[in-house]
């Protein structure tokens, strides 16, 4: 089994907003890492999760699938998912897969935090 | 291709795919090189997957139609992801260990791409793009759904040496994508099909609940059985499924107007009318 080549760190900005910094590859093998990060970021007061893709180096269709399942999980808890730091290439992939219709995408952390109300 | 009887392992809806359960080192630490500081903006780097994705498409277009293919319900359709469909969202995973076959994941995927239609069950046809399964290519399909033929297509969303993914358009039974991949595990190559899908419209959702899901299971089990047999393996097909989202998206109920099954049926029923019109047109031209 290939190793997950990704590191995710959680920053709690406010009681309601958490940022997950993604560094490396998002593929099927990143599932455990992503879900662990989500669990760590999720507190009883968390309302908004922000994914920081500035360190994203690779993503395939399974990786996009992981984001969809994460989005559904978050939406079912009446929470929101935002993203920033996407390169032009990954912005196009979000557009192609129509993920941009469900995840708010922002240029930088300040804009994402503003949208999150932090 | 002959289909040997295969034992099938089915597990409950709450289980996670095998790869999620296997222990694995998951964190790779960043290496700092001396005191060199490299400032990069997100867009400054060329990602490794840059050539593996299709370009953004507003509407599908079949470039060249293979012999026997029908371009119906494909041209002009938008692709739809699992977020755009109507029914419950499912993640279904089917896999087979190619134990004993001396074949690498890359060789499995290369063969799968080349022979893709040959592994499908009889009565269903996949008209591979003339240039092969490459990112951005569009394939046309003729599917047997409960004895009815359905013409539609798929976009090759992603393709690399060890995986490829197909995304469905408006009117297809399913909204979402299907990923075909291969990887090594415990000394054997594993071939896997994973769907992240929901029914595109209410009619399809009813159909899936009334046996469509079982038919789909049989479809992919047949495909993996045939793939394994190609490599001389009498493998066990494993199957897991999880309901990712049990909600129906009523805002997408209008997708029914694009329903390819309905449109294919109407197209077939009107075939004699088109034939008479063509005949009349030819007579006028000759006169």
In terms of Cα–Cα distance, which of A91, A71, A81 is closest to A49? A81
Candidates B27, B81, B244; nearest CB to A99? B81
> Which range, of A60-74, B2-16, B51-65, B129-143, averages the lowest pLDDT?
B2-16
Segment B162-180 shows an average pLDDT of 96
- Domain membership flag for residue A1: no
Q: Does residue B39 carry a pLDDT above 50? A: no
State both tokens at B44. 């400054």
Segment B50-54 shows an average pLDDT of 95
Q: B87-111 burial string, b = 16+ CB within 10 Å, else e?
A: bbbbbbbbbbbbeebebebeebbeb
User: In this structure, are residues B6 and B225 in contact, taking their beta carbons and an 8 Å threshold?
Assistant: yes
In terms of Cα–Cα distance, which of B3, B1, B18 is closest to B218? B3
Residue B45: predicted pLDDT: 61
Pairing of strands A6-14, B237-245: unpaired
Q: How far is A55 from chain B (nearest CA, A)?
A: 7
* Residue numbers in B near A23 (CB within 8 A): 30
* Residue numbers in A near B50 (CB within 8 A): 89
- Domain membership flag for residue A29: yes
ipTM confidence score: 0.91
CB contact under 8 A, A62 and B30: no
* Residue numbers in B near A86 (CB within 8 A): 42
Q: Does residue B267 carry a pLDDT above 50? A: yes
Q: Does residue B40 carry a pLDDT above 90? A: no
Segment B173-195 shows an average pLDDT of 96
Mean of pLDDT over chain B: 85
In terms of Cα–Cα distance, which of B148, B147, B150 is closest to B174? B150
Q: Of the spans B10-19, B40-49, B66-75, B120-129, which averages the highest pLDDT?
A: B120-129
CATH 3.30.530.20 fits B8-18+52-279, yes or no: yes
User: What whole-number distance in Å separates Cα of residue B116 and Cα of residue B140?
Assistant: 13
**Domain count within chain A:** 1
- What is the CATH number for A96? 3.30.750.24
Q: What chain A residue is nearest to B164 in terms of C-alpha separation?
A: A61
pLDDT in tens, A2-20: 678 999 999 999 999 999 9
Q: Does residue B3 carry a pLDDT above 50? A: no
Candidates A5, A28, A31; nearest CB to B28? A5
- Sheet with B8-10, side-by-side order of all strands: B8-10, B237-245, B89-97, B188-199, B174-185, B163-167, B148-159, B138-145, B125-127
- Domain membership flag for residue A83: yes
DSSP A53-107: EEEEEEE-HHHHHHHHHHHHHHHHTT-EEEEE---HHHHHHHHHTTGGGTSEEES
State both tokens at B132. 């092969």
In terms of Cα–Cα distance, which of B219, B178, B176, B216 is closest to B200? B176
In terms of Cα–Cα distance, which of B17, B4, B27 is closest to B232? B4
Candidates B26, B55, B157; nearest CB to A33? B26
More confident residue, A47 or B37: A47
Segment B232-243 shows an average pLDDT of 95
State both tokens at B165. 């993914």
Residue with tokens 């991949």: B181
pLDDT band at B282 (very low <50, low <70, confident <90, very high): confident
Residue with tokens 């197209």: B267
Total count of residues recorded for chain A: 118
pLDDT in tens, A93-112: 999 999 999 999 999 999 99
pLDDT above 90 covers a percentage of chain B that reads 62
* Residue numbers in A near B16 (CB within 8 A): 31
Q: For residue B161, give Cα distances in angstroms to A87, B36, B95, B111, B227.
A: 23, 34, 18, 11, 17
pLDDT band at B35 (very low <50, low <70, confident <90, very high): very low
State both tokens at B164. 């490829």
pLDDT in tens, B107-151: 999 999 999 999 999 989 999 888 899 999 999 999 988 788 889
In terms of Cα–Cα distance, which of B259, B144, B248, B258 is closest to B198? B248
CB contact under 8 A, B194 and A62: yes
* Residue numbers in B near A56 (CB within 8 A): 42, 47
Instruction: Kindly give the residue spans of alpha helices, DSSP state H, lying in chain B.
Output: 18-21, 105-115, 202-207, 213-230, 260-269, 271-286
Segments forming the whole domain that contains residue A42: 6-116
Residue A1: predicted pLDDT: 58
Q: How far is A36 from chain B (nearest CA, A)?
A: 11
């Amino acid at each position: 089994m290939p190793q997950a080549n990704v590191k995710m760190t959680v920053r709690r900005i406010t009681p309601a907003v958490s940022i997950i910094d993604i560094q490396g590859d998002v593929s099927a093998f990143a599932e455990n890492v992503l879900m662990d990060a989500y669990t760590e970021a999720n507190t009883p007061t968390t309302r908004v999760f922000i994914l920081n893709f500035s360190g994203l180096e690779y993503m395939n269709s399974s990786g996009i699938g992981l984001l969809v399942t994460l989005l559904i999980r978050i939406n079912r808890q009446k929470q929101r998912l935002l993203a920033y730091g996407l390169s032009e290439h990954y912005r196009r992939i979000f557009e192609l897969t129509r993920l941009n219709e469900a995840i708010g995408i922002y240029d930088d952390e300040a804009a994402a935090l503003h949208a999150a109300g932090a | 291709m002959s289909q040997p009887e295969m034992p099938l392992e089915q597990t409950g809806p709450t289980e996670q795919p095998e790869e999620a359960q296997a222990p694995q080192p998951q964190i790779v630490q960043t290496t700092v090189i001396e005191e060199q500081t490299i400032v990069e903006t997100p867009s400054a780097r060329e990602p490794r997957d840059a050539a593996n994705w299709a370009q953004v498409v507003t509407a599908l277009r079949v470039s060249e139609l293979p012999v026997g293919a029908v371009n119906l319900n494909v041209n002009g359709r938008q692709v739809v992801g699992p977020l755009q469909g109507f029914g419950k969202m499912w993640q279904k995973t089917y896999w087979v260990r190619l134990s004993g076959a001396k074949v690498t994941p890359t060789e499995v995927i290369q063969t799968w791409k080349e022979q893709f239609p040959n592994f499908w069950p009889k009565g269903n046809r996949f008209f591979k793009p003339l240039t092969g399964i490459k990112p951005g290519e569009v394939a046309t399909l003729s599917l047997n759904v409960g004895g009815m033929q359905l013409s539609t297509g798929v976009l090759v969303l992603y393709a690399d040496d060890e995986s490829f993914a197909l995304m469905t358009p408006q009117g297809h039974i399913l909204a979402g994508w299907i990923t075909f991949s291969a990887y090594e595990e415990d000394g054997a190559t594993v071939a896997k099909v994973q769907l992240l899908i929901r029914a595109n419209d209410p009619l399809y959702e009813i159909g899936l609940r009334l046996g469509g899901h079982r038919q789909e299971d049989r479809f992919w089990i047949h495909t993996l059985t045939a793939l394994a047999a190609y490599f001389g393996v009498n493998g066990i097909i494993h199957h897991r499924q999880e309901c990712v989202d049990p909600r129906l998206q009523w805002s997408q109920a209008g997708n029914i107007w694009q329903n390819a099954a309905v449109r294919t049926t109407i197209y077939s029923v009107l075939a004699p009318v088109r034939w008479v019109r063509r005949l009349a047109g030819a007579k006028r031209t000759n006169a």
